[in-house]
Amino acid sequence: MKTRRAFLQQMGMASASIPFLNTGLLNFNREPGDDGPVLRVALMGLGGYASRVAESIQSCKRVKITGLISGTPEKLQTWRKKYNVPESSCYNYQNFDNIKSNKDIDVVYVITPNALHHNHTIRAARAGKHVICEKPLAISAKEGKEMVEACKKAGVKLLVGYRMHFEPTTLEVIRMRSNGEFGSIKFFQGLCGFRIGDPAQWRLNKALAGGGSMMDIGIYALNGSRYMVGEEPVWVTAQETKTDPVKFKAGVDETIQFQLGFKSGATASCLSTYNMNYLDKFFLNGEKGFAEMQPSIGYGPIKGRTHKGAVDAPIVVHQTVQMDEMAAIILDGKKPVVAVDGEEGLKDLRIIEAIYQAAASGKKIML
């Protein structure tokens, strides 16, 4: 009997053959809530993070789980009963294209292994559904670009699960930087890592993960450097360290240090690792002040301080705020402070590819 991992890999690598639908924007036909219309979500991939998202949605004002997609029948039954989802709105990876006729689903939240994002996103778009895709958007910039184009062609929105873009402490530091309270930005440091466990998990399988720590935890430091500095990098250098080639096989990075240069002259120094704990820190330095966040990307609470003192911001459940904000983006056309669209995810992928290239070549890569 095939394992779930093998089944996922087979389904994800297969290319969809359903023609694009010229759907335009979806017609949301639902009962409005006190805070506006409700976004009806189908969760795809019922693993650990999906459980966190599902629980968080229960506190949302504008989001409801109305569909489930999984390759494990037992999970579908358990989740269906827990979240009161009708059997007619439960799908597997073979038949989920049928959601195109399900008027009770507006968006598919793709929470499957990285290598499956491309296939699952394109199929959901072809079914006329908006897509929220977990980060990284894909395992290559080429795939990411195809996903962005597919969603545009289908007339649906593509968002990426960058939960930190809605986190209050993060947004307060961004506000201060935007208002010039730190002066000219000179330097950013992002440290992101943990000791990864089970060596058989998909995150250590290059075919499913597309890499190693950089694709999973390092993307937080990379993305953070961009929204904290407030610029796009123009060059990158990088170095890779591997102490356990058995656990971290070829193509699966254990630790990468990378440096970014910005047009203004600001620089960033970041660390991504699967082999060290207690790494969850951002530091931003400017001519007039600084900001430090530690923890900076964990599930919370995020703690920040600046040259003016502690950052006083609400403590929230990241995924609850993320989903309500994404409902506003999709339903109301709200523009977030920090972008979370497919183009934002594509920018990170292009830089990640440059980081891998720099680490392999030892050269500075211009972006």
Region 10-34: mean pLDDT is: 41
Residue 300: pLDDT above 90?
Answer: no
Model confidence over 177-236: pLDDT tens digits? 999 999 999 999 999 999 999 999 999 999 999 999 999 999 999 999 999 999 999 999
Residue 268: pLDDT above 70?
Answer: yes
Per-residue confidence band for 3, with pLDDT thresholds at 50, 70 and 90:
very low
Rounded Cα–Cα distance for residues 287 and 146 (Å):
41
Region 156-169: mean pLDDT is: 98
Model confidence over 85-129: pLDDT tens digits? 999 999 999 999 999 999 999 999 999 999 999 999 999 999 999
Residue 358: pLDDT above 80?
Answer: yes
Residue 45 neighbours by CB under 8 Å, 6+ apart: 69, 70, 110, 111, 112, 113, 116
Residue 23: pLDDT above 70?
Answer: no
Residue 27: pLDDT above 50?
Answer: no
Residue 239: pLDDT above 60?
Answer: yes
Per-residue confidence band for 161, with pLDDT thresholds at 50, 70 and 90:
very high
Phi, psi of 253 (to 5 degrees): -75, 135
- Chain centroid to CA 253: 19
Model confidence over 73-85: pLDDT tens digits? 999 999 999 999 9
Look over the chain and give the mean of its residue pLDDT values, rounded to a whole number: 92
Under 8 Å between Cβ of 159 and 340 = yes
Residue 335, classified by CB atoms within 10 Å of its CB into exposed (0-12), middle (13-18) or buried (19+), is: exposed
Rounded Cα–Cα distance for residues 37 and 90 (Å):
23
Look at the alpha carbons of 106, 112, 115, 119 in this order and tell me if their dihedral is positive or negative: negative
Catalytic residue among 135, 227, 274, 347: 135
Establish whether 49 is a catalytic residue: no
Write out the DSSP string of 211-227.
SSHIIIIIHHHHHHHHH
Catalytic residue among 91, 109, 220, 356: 220
Establish whether 2 is a catalytic residue: no
Token output for 58? 């229960």
Q: What is the DSSP letter of 181?
A: T
- Residue 35: predicted pLDDT: 81
Under 8 Å between Cβ of 42 and 127 = no
Return the percentage of the chain with pLDDT > 70, whole number.
91
Rounded Cα–Cα distance for residues 138 and 345 (Å):
8
Residue 65: pLDDT above 80?
Answer: yes
Write out the DSSP string of 34-78.
TTBPPEEEEEE--SHHHHHHHHHHTT-SSEEEEEEE-S-HHHHHH
Region 325-341: mean pLDDT is: 98
- Residue 331: predicted pLDDT: 98
Domains defined for the chain, CATH in brackets = 4-163 (3.40.50.720), 168-315+342-366 (3.30.360.10)
Under 8 Å between Cβ of 10 and 207 = no
Per-residue confidence band for 33, with pLDDT thresholds at 50, 70 and 90:
low
Rounded Cα–Cα distance for residues 208 and 249 (Å):
13
Phi, psi of 289 (to 5 degrees): 180, -170
Q: Of the candidates 59, 331, 126, 70, which has an alpha carbon nearest to the alpha carbon of residue 85?
A: 70
Per-residue confidence band for 10, with pLDDT thresholds at 50, 70 and 90:
very low
Packing angle of the helix pair 141-154, 342-361 (nearest 10 deg): 170
Q: Of the candidates 22, 25, 51, 38, which has an alpha carbon nearest to the alpha carbon of residue 104?
A: 38
Residue 31: pLDDT above 50?
Answer: no
